[in-house]
Copies of this chain bind each other. A is one copy, B any other.
Amino acid sequence: MAGYVQHKEDIIRRLRRIEGQVRGVQRMVDEDVYCIDVLTQVSAINAALQSTAVALLDEHLSCCVTEAIAAGGDQAKVKVGEASKAIARLIRT
């Protein structure tokens, strides 16, 4: 089960806004808008994506990881290791 299920609409709303921002940048490039203004907008998209990732991670820790730990057993370790790897990927990009 997905940990974000209770905040699914919020996540989808964020992603739709990001999609709109990406389309906005396409239009900017199509209209030869000045590079620096395009880059400012790309930075804003990156920040919005990172916030969405943090929200997803928070749900994942609060739900999936918490449930696996509460249930005990091998799955707890697996889930924590998996979360650490996902965090590492986000920190490095």
Binding site for B on A (CB under 8 A): 1-5, 8, 11-12, 15-16, 18-19, 22-23, 25-26, 29-30, 32-36, 38-40, 42-43, 45-47, 49-50, 52-54, 56-62, 64-66, 69-70, 72, 76-77, 80-84, 86-93
> Nearest B residue to A61 by beta-carbon distance?
B80
Q: Is the interface of A mostly helix, strand, loop or mixed?
A: helix
A90 in contact with B50 given A15-B26, A35-B64 (CB within 8 Å):
no
Can you give 7 A-B contacts (C-beta < 8 A)? A3-B35, A4-B38, A8-B30, A43-B93, A46-B93, A54-B88, A87-B87
* Copies of this chain assembled into the complex: 4
